[in-house]
Amino acid sequence: MGELRLLLVDDEVEFLEPMKARLERRGLACATATSGDDALRLLGSERFDCAVVDVKMPGMDGLELLRRMRRTWPETAVVLLTGHASVELGVQGMELGAFEYLLKPVELDDLLDTVRRAAAGARRD
């Protein structure tokens, strides 16, 4: 299957860095972005199997990033991860084609499991 390439997008650096470290310890290759624009730049130069995207970010929010990703990089699965339990955001996210909508805090095993399934689905498509 090869190494799984993951992009983590979150404006909270305190969340981003420890998460990256934990995921890498489990054998994933992780890149991080602290904004939607940042993420788009990375996506333009590298291929990712899956992106884990925070919904609430200043500037371009997670849903807007998702919208653009589905258009330009449909092969990269998007998992939304948010601290706000919102029906409206969840519905929008799923309708826009998110692979999954997860609430923070998320168990590392659950996130890993979701990311692996998302990547597997995306690779086959």
Which range in 18-26, 32-40, 46-54, 80-88 contacts other proteins by CB under 8 A?
80-88
User: How is the beta sheet containing 29-33 ordered, strand by strand?
Assistant: 29-33, 5-9, 50-54, 77-82, 100-103
Which range in 11-19, 28-36, 54-62, 84-92 contacts other proteins by CB under 8 A?
84-92
108 binds other proteins (CB under 8 A): no
Alpha carbon distance 111, 79 (integer Å) = 9
Query: Whose Cβ is closer to other proteins: residue 4's or residue 33's?
Result: 4
For residue 81, give both structure tokens: 């991860």
The binder of other proteins chosen from 2, 27, 87, 107 (CB under 8 A): 87
120 binds other proteins (CB under 8 A): yes
Nearest C-alpha neighbor of 101 from the set 112, 89, 113: 89
Query: Whose Cβ is closer to other proteins: residue 16's or residue 122's?
Result: 122
Q: How does DSSP classify residue 27?
A: T
Which range in 12-20, 24-32, 39-47, 86-94 contacts other proteins by CB under 8 A?
86-94
Instruction: Identify the residue whose tokens are 């489990």.
Output: 26
3-state secondary structure of 48: coil
Q: What are the φ/ψ torsions at residue 111 (nearest 5 degrees)?
A: -65, -45
CB of 78 to other proteins, least distance (A): 13
Task: Write out the residues near other proteins by the rule CB under 8 A.
Answer: 85-88, 90-92, 94-95, 99, 101, 113, 117, 120-121, 124
